[in-house]
Chains A and B, each alone.
Chain A
């Protein structure tokens, strides 16, 4: 029964949601809406599971003095700080998102600069990687190199300043060859998704139970 009950639930939920797509009226439409609300609630609780897992992992790392264990202290401190400021702001302003709140102060002055810095570093790594990787070793690599250079120039104003044909060529690359490849990938991936969904709904694919 431990396996059969989840398979029956999956089958019924899947079939009701598929029917509701074509017939969004009572009773299946209402049932689907209820499932969606449950999904949203369950998704909220998964954050608590994530929190629990994160705390346990880092406490274990500190107690066993694993490599990089001092960083776990920083992470736990950040976690507690965010939670405390979030709740404090919530109680004081009814929302943590009030601009004067302690949460927003933490968010704007710590979280945003950290995230921005991490991502900004990519510009340097990508530049270095492009220099090393874009070598015209083969015909395909040469095509990729030329296409990349045209799109890089065509997507910034300096491309049009050099020649009007560069943005036009860049648009053509994005609208024709790029799009053709993308469509092929999307159609393949979607067919795969449909097949996998059917396998799950019909109980053939059961790995999610383990």
Chain B
């Protein structure tokens, strides 16, 4: 019986060590697993694929380092898909601490895809008061961003010449780890009728399913699994795909611990 008592009260250090090992080993070995692409991720991918070349898309960076492992691979894949399809990307965000992080990826992918600043993409930077900025864009972007992140007037860039408000933006993609995807839908999609899809963390993705089912967002890329699926579609397997074995085994381990805990709990209770 002592064994079952132990099963019901495994030392947390054993759990920590086991989780650490099952996450670290697959990440070091970098093996891959077959990825099943879900309908919501395929819809997001096809939304970008179906845009005519030269369309302007707005990427809103609303995450920071806490969610980077999940959202960075999505952002990189999104940029690759955009530049491959000759779309123009407006880069902005509503989380001051997150923008420099994605700036790193933006610089990396634009260099890889030979994208030209001001012609293929522009970095607007950050302005406080995120809902106000979102709604204000509906009338005129220049009311909030007369200059880009380096203080250069946005009218001096060819890609911004005819871009004034949401009528000139074909798609909004929010990379968010909090409430911002909700705000984009509630304040922008429902009011201005812009097409949008969301890239969210695994924790936040379930809260966006109502918008997906109502057709308010055209797709949803959620969590590391979503990132891996999107990478598979774009054809650049990276950290999302290589993270899948670690996450798979970690989930199995947690379920095994839960089963152990319940076996121990029931047998101890029956004994009492």
Task: Type the 1/0 row for B243-265, where 1 means its CB is closer than 8 Å to any CB of A.
Answer: 01101111111110110111001
Q: Are A160 and B136 in contact (CB under 8 A)?
A: no
Q: Are B64 and A115 in contact (CB under 8 A)?
A: yes
Say whether B144 faces chain A, with CB atoms less than 8 Å apart: yes
CA distance A24 to B253 in the complex (A): 55
Task: Type the 1/0 row for A81-112, where 1 means its CB is closer than 8 Å to any CB of B.
Answer: 00000000000011111010001100110011
Given known A-B contacts A43-B132, A99-B107, A115-B64, A179 and B213 have beta carbons under 8 A apart: yes
Q: Are A175 and B127 in contact (CB under 8 A)?
A: no
Q: Are B66 and A116 in contact (CB under 8 A)?
A: yes
CA distance A179 to B261 in the complex (A): 30
Q: Are A157 and B35 in contact (CB under 8 A)?
A: yes
- Among B65, B133, B255, point to the contact of A112 (Cβ < 8 A): B65
Given known A-B contacts A47-B128, A116-B65, A135-B262, A130 and B257 have beta carbons under 8 A apart: yes
Q: Are B144 and A124 in contact (CB under 8 A)?
A: no
Q: Are A40 and B19 in contact (CB under 8 A)?
A: no
Chain A 106-126 residues near chain B, CB threshold 8 A: 107-108, 111-113, 115-116, 118-119, 123-124
- Among A112, A115, A134, A171, point to the contact of B261 (Cβ < 8 A): A134
Q: Are A131 and B35 in contact (CB under 8 A)?
A: no
Q: Say how far A12's CB is from chain B's closest CB, in angstroms.
A: 17
Q: Which of B10-18, B52-60, B75-83, B167-175 contacts A (4 or more CB under 8 A)?
A: B10-18
* Number of chain B interface residues as a range: 35 or more
A94's nearest neighbour on chain B, judged by CB, is B150
Contacts of B118 in A (CB 8 A): none
A183's nearest neighbour on chain B, judged by CB, is B210
Contacts of A103 in B (CB 8 A): 100
Q: Are A128 and B209 in contact (CB under 8 A)?
A: no
Q: Chain B binding site: helix, strand, loop or mixed by DSSP? A: helix
Q: Are B129 and A155 in contact (CB under 8 A)?
A: no
A45's nearest neighbour on chain B, judged by CB, is B128
- Among A43, A94, A145, point to the contact of B258 (Cβ < 8 A): A145
Q: Are A149 and B255 in contact (CB under 8 A)?
A: yes
Q: Say how far A35's CB is from chain B's closest CB, in angstroms.
A: 8
B149's nearest neighbour on chain A, judged by CB, is A95
Given known A-B contacts A44-B128, A160-B34, A21 and B248 have beta carbons under 8 A apart: no
Q: Are A128 and B97 in contact (CB under 8 A)?
A: no
Most chain-A CB neighbours within 10 Å: which of B140, B225, B247, B254? B254
Q: Are B33 and A158 in contact (CB under 8 A)?
A: yes
Contacts of A145 in B (CB 8 A): 258, 262
CA distance A134 to B245 in the complex (A): 24
Say whether A163 faces chain B, with CB atoms less than 8 Å apart: no
Can you show 24 pairs from A to B with CB atoms below 8 A apart? A33-B139, A33-B140, A95-B149, A97-B149, A113-B65, A115-B64, A123-B250, A124-B16, A127-B16, A127-B250, A128-B15, A130-B254, A134-B258, A134-B261, A149-B255, A152-B255, A156-B251, A157-B34, A157-B228, A158-B33, A161-B34, A175-B209, A179-B213, A183-B210
- Give the top 10 A-B pairs by smallest Cβ distance, nearest first: A43-B129, A158-B248, A43-B128, A115-B65, A40-B129, A119-B66, A39-B132, A157-B33, A156-B248, A36-B132
**Chain B positions near chain A (C-beta within 8 angstroms):** 10, 12, 15-16, 19-20, 23, 33-36, 38, 64-69, 97, 99-101, 103-104, 107, 123, 125, 127-129, 132-133, 135-136, 138-140, 143-144, 149-151, 191, 202, 206-207, 209-210, 213, 223, 225, 228, 244-245, 247-255, 257-258, 260-262, 265-266
Q: Given A32-B135, A124-B15, list of 9 further CB < 8 A pairs? A: A37-B136, A39-B129, A40-B133, A115-B65, A118-B66, A123-B23, A124-B20, A156-B244, A157-B245
